[in-house]
Amino acid sequence: MTPLLSRFQQLSLPDLVGQGENEETEFKRLINSPSKIAKPITAFANSHGGIILIGVDDNKRIVGIHSEKETLEIVYQAVKLHIDPEPRIDNYVDEYKNRLVLIVCIPESNDKPHYYLEQTTDPNTLKAVTKKRAYTREGNRNRALCDDRITLMQSKKYPLKMSFGEKEIMLLSFLQIHKVITADEYGKMTGLPLDKARESLIAMVRSGAVKLQTNGEKSYYTLPT
């Protein structure tokens, strides 16, 4: 049992519901599609973990589920078919006034980032394609991660390795004057391919020399304040 699961199990179902949807909690009245629940599972795994209460509507009403077995099957299909890599989940069933609520607990993952896999159709070829997007939890919403945030998340799996040379000095000098820079601008300035420019910037972020800022899906870098 994970510490997260243990903490939530200590609370009664009315207490959990009474807290409302937040950074750690999401309500689902019902689920009839694995893809619909895969996105919040991905977001919680990429963040600090959380729970999904299936059988509770947005108005905090405990409506219950019809079948524990069928609901669990949809959850497992979501994890296996719509998330890569598969995150760990735990679950338990709680009861209130003869109504069952399935509580899915998603601990923070050590294998970030996890990607939500969405099946869609290419408008040009009309062929089925799979789109991958990483999500994180912000407040009571699931937010798509930009490429810079994904690179930062990936880099934290490994020890920081960087050298401070001409390109890094050029970056700091630029920021002293212009205040902000994007990965694309840094790549053009230094002659680095975009992915290498982003990796270089992320190393600088991890070292504390610069700061990564995001505004919606746009990212840029500044000097620390």
- Each residue's pLDDT tens digit, 34-72: 998 999 999 999 999 999 999 999 999 999 999 999 999
Task: Residue 74: give the domain boundaries.
Answer: 3-145
Q: Hey, which residues does 134 pair with through a beta bridge?
A: 115
pLDDT at 1 over 70: no
To the nearest whole number, what is the mean pLDDT of the chain? 93
- What would the pLDDT profile of 128-164 be if each residue is shown by its tens digit? 888 999 999 999 999 999 999 999 999 998 999 888 8
End position of a domain, from candidates 145, 162, 191: 145
167 near 200, Cβ under 8 Å? yes
pLDDT at 7 over 90: no
Do residue 140 and residue 210 come from a single domain?
no
End position of a domain, from candidates 83, 111, 145: 145
Q: CATH number, domain at 129?
A: 3.30.950
% the chain with pLDDT above 90: 81
Helix (H) or strand (E) holding 46: helix 34-46
End position of a domain, from candidates 115, 145, 175: 145
